Chains A and B, each alone.
Chain A
């Protein structure tokens, strides 16, 4: 078990380095000059060179990367060009907000997805199964910014039940666990949950239907076990694969919420990315992508660590 985990951890190192190099260099492929956003249009060449040197942009790209990486491992991701605040600080606040949103969306997505998937898997081929599959496919296919706007139109504009944007009254960014703040969460969380709900429903349905068709389930019936006990067997057999699907979805919830956070002006990493892209705020962009990518790597590592606890064949074979 320890050896297995150490191996997984070791694999993660080159992935992290590649990821950091990719997100550093990708930014340079994008059109636009970060300095044009900061400097006045008529700035002299002298000032341009001076500011370039200040941000380290006069050095070759690989040197810039090495310097950036060196600072990044100590937690210093530079200073945001847009706000002038440290990037790490900006991301720290945003990631908390995104995590809260993602946590709510995943609780919604995973409970509904697993429940629907179980029902459809147990009744595979029936009308119920087809209805659930239709719901799952629409969850995956509906563009979620559109879904967000529709929900806003219904629940904020027409019914005036829930706020349309923000994470708290008066543009507050600090999260608190009370109803005043929770109200802001409901619409973005539901919108964000649509895709993972669909994907998890479909995966769990396939897994459960597949497990139920296995000979050992017939053998469990032949042992005289009740359907309830057999259900536990089915869950334990489906769990390892379901877990990896859930892990990937959790990562997407963190990173893939750009559109949803933008629609609802939710002050998370998605909105931060959006802002960084439009302001050509390169340090902020690089920092945010890096943190999100590392988050993915960390999640996969966590899934890898949990899987052998659920499936003995992974670590013991």
Chain B
């Protein structure tokens, strides 16, 4: 599962395309302030696929949505810095932001059935985006939409352009979502658990399609998933999130083949696959922390079997254990 080559590397160059620096996202809609993202640092090189791995509530989707600034502005605050292609996303005006969304960066959502407008034909939804960003007329945009449906291998794309979302299956709709996301040639693709809501057989097809598209167009990609297998399949690099922080990041083979952080180790041990039949699943004890009342120091310490007094004394440092592999844990701190 983990011994994959790095074919995506052909597009990779060393200059960073996305730099996220000390990203903090808080929600203040209810009584309490919820700290969903607490200082995420991520660097994405051009053409690289980063898998953002973590369980529900770890802040991976919020990080993605903060990057697009599509969190509800009245109830959320984003601080820190997000630079994409040399521009600061958090400083963009509404106009610039609208150009950035769907143009330079586009997003694929988890539930294709809920993410397309039910009263618009799918073709028109792609055309709308193409007209908006590519500055061409509707007729040319329709040809572009047709081409995009062909990329994602939708059978009889011509007739599908005039179908409504409720007339298509979940797998087909996710292909439409992917076609929509790719239609304006984005440089950055954000995929928010794009296979989670699909049937198992369809999941693999869509995953393979996404990998094919990424190799064909070479977009820098962030792929959010809670599925270790999916992350292993598609990523060049993996960043593991817990309680709104990246606790470990590095090349996919290193992080998943030789995990250092106790949480990553636990996550890998609790993953189910065929060879484990009959064995006891080693789940991580306890439950994820309350994001409104984060524990002092390391957020994972209450569940960690290596926990020591130093863990709760202060925030754990981010330690580089090799040139490209960081772990946020006191156990790796140089003495």
What residues of chain A have their CB less than 8 Å away from a CB belonging to chain B?
Answer: 214-216, 218-226, 229, 233, 236-237, 240, 310-313, 316-317
Contact = CB atoms under 8 A, between A and B. Distances in A.
Interface in B77-115: 98-103, 106-107, 109, 111, 114-115
A223 B166 contact: no
Interface of B: 65, 68, 70, 98-103, 106-107, 109, 111, 114-121, 128-129, 132-133, 164, 166-167, 180
B98 A224 contact: yes
A237 B132 contact: no
A233 B164 contact: no
Nearest to A236: B119
A313 B117 CA distance: 12
A223 B180 contact: yes
10 contacts: A214-B114, A215-B114, A216-B115, A218-B65, A224-B99, A226-B98, A236-B117, A240-B119, A312-B121, A317-B167
A222 B164 contact: no
Given A221-B101, A237-B119, 14 more contacts: A219-B107, A219-B109, A221-B70, A222-B70, A222-B106, A223-B106, A223-B128, A223-B129, A224-B102, A225-B128, A225-B129, A237-B117, A313-B164, A317-B167
Max chain A CB contacts within 10 Å: which of B100, B119, B133? B119
A172 B70 CA distance: 61
B133 A216 contact: no
Nearest to A226: B98
A112 B209 CA distance: 50
B118 A219 contact: no
The 4 closest A-B pairs by CB, nearest first: A224-B102, A224-B101, A223-B102, A215-B114
B119 A311 contact: yes
Nearest to B69: A221
A219 to B, nearest CB: 4
B119 A310 contact: yes
A46 B29 CA distance: 82
A220 B129 CA distance: 9
A123 to B, nearest CB: 9
B129 A224 contact: yes
Contacts of B118: 216, 237, 312-313
A208 B116 CA distance: 17
Contacts of A218: 65, 70, 109, 115
Given A214-B114, A216-B118, A313-B166, A224 B132 contact: yes
Contacts of B99: 224
Contacts of B65: 218
A222 B120 contact: no
A212 to B, nearest CB: 10
Nearest to A222: B107
